Amino acid sequence: MIFIFFISMLFFHWFFSYGVNILSIGPDIIFIYVFWANYYFSPCLSLTFSFFCGIYADFYYTLPFGTHALAFSLMSFIINSVRKNIEIDSFLPRIVNFTISNYSIVFFLIFLNFIMTQSFGFDFRLMVQPILNIIFFELFNKLFLFVFKRRIDYVRI
Amino acid sequence: MERDKFFKFLFYLYLFLSLSFLILKIDPLINNVRIFVSYLFDPSFSVGTINKFKDINYKIRSLLETEMNNIKLQEENRTLKARLMDFERLEKENLELKEILDVKKRVGYQGKFSKVISTNPRKPYSFIYIDKGKNDGIELYNPVVSYLNKEWVLIGRITEVYDDYSKVILITNSNFSFIADSGKSRGLLTGDFSNSLNYRYIDGEVKLGDEVFTSKASMTFPPFIKIGKIADVAFNPDPSLIYAKVSVFNIKDVDLVYVINFKPYKDTEQEI
């Protein structure tokens, strides 16, 4: 199932990266998938999924190879460590949690890229993208909850 | 508990892998993969994108064909470069020959060009053999000159003629002597198997740097052909004992010679 989930991520990422464009910004489908997987899959599975999503993102983006893999693995570890105490079923906590995570990842990637390449690749679009991501996350959340209905009862804590 | 341990193990493993990727800096390799994949899929969204998957076979084949063509072209490039080097050599040789032909018009003597085919390794300044003989119109005692340093200089004369080749005794041979003139002197030149001649029995004044030519008084060679320059003068109170050294050609430079169609007044007067 996780493999199909991964393939669907590849498809949507490919589709939205080039198809949907607002101010030349597209939603970060990879992050949406990783964030969702870390709340609704078991810890080991979600960590593995995050790592391989990171590898894929490293292939896709031009940041130093390993940057996304590291960022997503760390994010997965942190989320899995604290997710018992965070509730994302309600709309507002979910939005706040998602936004904070997304901006954290963006700043972490910028910081890591600066360390590795000594170039400060800041773009204002990176600041706007999380807002677009929220909208798409809500859409995907509905879709995933529908598809993974049965499993939610099993994996949710 | 077990799950927690495994989860931590996985986390450390992925952390280690991610950091290894970052530290090892494998981006050049990844870039190649990116280029290859993007070449295969051309991942730009358009209506026709799906159809592009059909071209993967064709693109892989064209990639391989390009590589093979590249190898072929590199080989061809190497061959052409080698030929070009040969052309450059031929061009240089051609220019030299053209220059010689231009100069030949200024020699004033009829004759034949010939290549040196052999020298005496033990005594290089004694004899040489040239690739023209009786069949080419070469005759005994014909003077032989060569174009060195942009001027014609005397080399020797034909001493034996065969059908297709001839032997040339060089003026530097110790068995060879003839009369020569400098600006204000006349004397006898004799060889000593080196690139200098002994200028003896000097009548007149000699000084360093004077050019030495064949003499009008000589029946061996036509007059006014350059021989060399006075390189050293040994003064003596007795004028008859003054002698000078005349530096002449270097045998290593003598490759192409010109045999002048000149017959001495009497063949037998000059003994070799």
pLDDT at B78: 93
Q: By CB neighbour count within 10 A (0-12 exposed, 13-18 middle, 19+ buried), where does B231 fall?
A: middle
**Domain hosting residue B211, numbered range:** 111-269
Q: Is residue A24 part of a domain?
A: no
Q: Is residue A40 part of a domain?
A: yes
Answer whether B54 touches A (CB < 8 Å): no
Instruction: Judge if B141 and B219 occupy the same domain.
Output: yes
Q: Is residue A36 part of a domain?
A: yes
Q: Is residue B173 part of a domain?
A: yes
d(CA B228, CA B198): 11
pLDDT at B47: 45
Q: Is residue B98 part of a domain?
A: no
pTM across the whole model: 0.49
**Domain hosting residue A87, numbered range:** 2-15+29-155
**pLDDT tens per residue across span A107-153:** 898 888 888 887 776 677 777 888 888 888 888 888 888 877 645 55
Instruction: Judge if B132 and B247 occupy the same domain.
Output: yes
Q: Is residue B186 part of a domain?
A: yes
pLDDT at B7: 85
3-class DSSP assignment, residue A107: helix
Instruction: Judge if B257 and B132 occupy the same domain.
Output: yes
Tokens 């209506």 belong to: B47
B189: enclosing H helix or E strand: strand B185-191
Contact list, A109 vs chain B (CB under 8 Å): none
- Last residue in a domain, options B40, B71, B102: B71
Q: Is residue B118 part of a domain?
A: yes
pLDDT at B169: 93
CA R_g for chain A: 15
B161: enclosing H helix or E strand: strand B151-161
Instruction: Judge if B141 and B250 occupy the same domain.
Output: yes
Q: Is residue B76 part of a domain?
A: no
**Cβ distance A65 to B22 under 8 Å?**
yes
Predicted confidence band at A71 (pLDDT cuts at 50, 70, 90)? very high
Identity of the amino acid at A74:
L
Chain A residue at shortest CA distance from B9: A44
Instruction: Judge if B249 and B119 occupy the same domain.
Output: yes
**pLDDT tens per residue across span B222-264:** 888 889 999 988 877 776 778 899 999 988 888 889 899 887 7
**pLDDT tens per residue across span A22-45:** 666 778 889 999 988 888 888 888
Q: What is the separation, in whole angstroms, between the first and last Cα of chain A?
A: 20
Q: Mean of the per-residue pLDDT values for chain A?
A: 81
- Last residue in a domain, options B17, B40, B71: B71
- Digit-by-digit pLDDT tens for chain B (272 residues) are 677 788 888 889 999 998 998 888 888 888 888 777 777 666 554 444 555 566 777 777 888 888 899 999 999 999 999 899 889 889 988 887 787 777 666 667 788 888 899 988 888 999 999 999 999 889 888 999 988 887 889 999 999 999 999 999 999 998 888 999 988 888 999 998 998 999 988 888 888 888 999 988 888 888 888 899 999 888 777 767 788 999 999 888 888 898 998 877 655 555 44
Tokens 């590795």 belong to: A116
pLDDT at B104: 65
Q: Is residue A22 part of a domain?
A: no
Answer whether B7 touches A (CB < 8 Å): yes
d(CA A82, CA A157): 12
Q: Is residue A23 part of a domain?
A: no
Cα-Cα-Cα-Cα dihedral sign, residues A11, A14, A20, A23:
positive
User: Hey, are the CB atoms on A51 and B17 less than 8 Å from each other?
Assistant: yes
Q: Is residue B92 part of a domain?
A: no
Q: Is residue B214 part of a domain?
A: yes
pLDDT at A24: 67
Tokens 């892989």 belong to: B60
pLDDT at B212: 92
Instruction: Judge if B62 and B131 occupy the same domain.
Output: no
User: Hey, are the CB atoms on B43 and A18 less than 8 Å from each other?
Assistant: yes
Instruction: Judge if B133 and B260 occupy the same domain.
Output: yes
Instruction: Judge if B151 and B53 occupy the same domain.
Output: no
d(CA A91, CA A118): 39
Nearest chain A CA: its distance from B68 CA (Å): 28
Instruction: Judge if B231 and B151 occupy the same domain.
Output: yes
Contact list, B10 vs chain A (CB under 8 Å): 44, 47-48
Closest CA to A43 of B14, B13, B10: B10
Which CATH number does the domain housing residue B244 bear?
Answer: 2.40.10.340
pLDDT at A79: 86
Q: Per the structure, how many domains does chain B have?
A: 2
**Cβ distance A47 to B7 under 8 Å?**
yes
Nearest chain A CA: its distance from B88 CA (Å): 49
Instruction: Judge if B53 and B123 occupy the same domain.
Output: no
Q: Is residue A20 part of a domain?
A: no
Contact list, A65 vs chain B (CB under 8 Å): 21-22, 25-27, 30
Interface mutation vs chain B, best among A24, A48, A65, most B CBs within 10 Å: A65
- Could you list the beta-strand ranges (E) of B206-255: 211-214, 226-234, 243-247
Instruction: Judge if B144 and B205 occupy the same domain.
Output: yes
- Last residue in a domain, options B42, B71, B100: B71
Q: Per the structure, how many domains does chain A have?
A: 1
Instruction: Judge if B67 and B115 occupy the same domain.
Output: no
Q: Could you tell me the maximum CA-CA distance found in chain A, to the nearest angstrom?
A: 47
3-class DSSP assignment, residue B233: strand
ipTM above 0.95, yes or no: no
Chain A residue at shortest CA distance from B33: A59
**Cβ distance B176 to B191 under 8 Å?**
yes
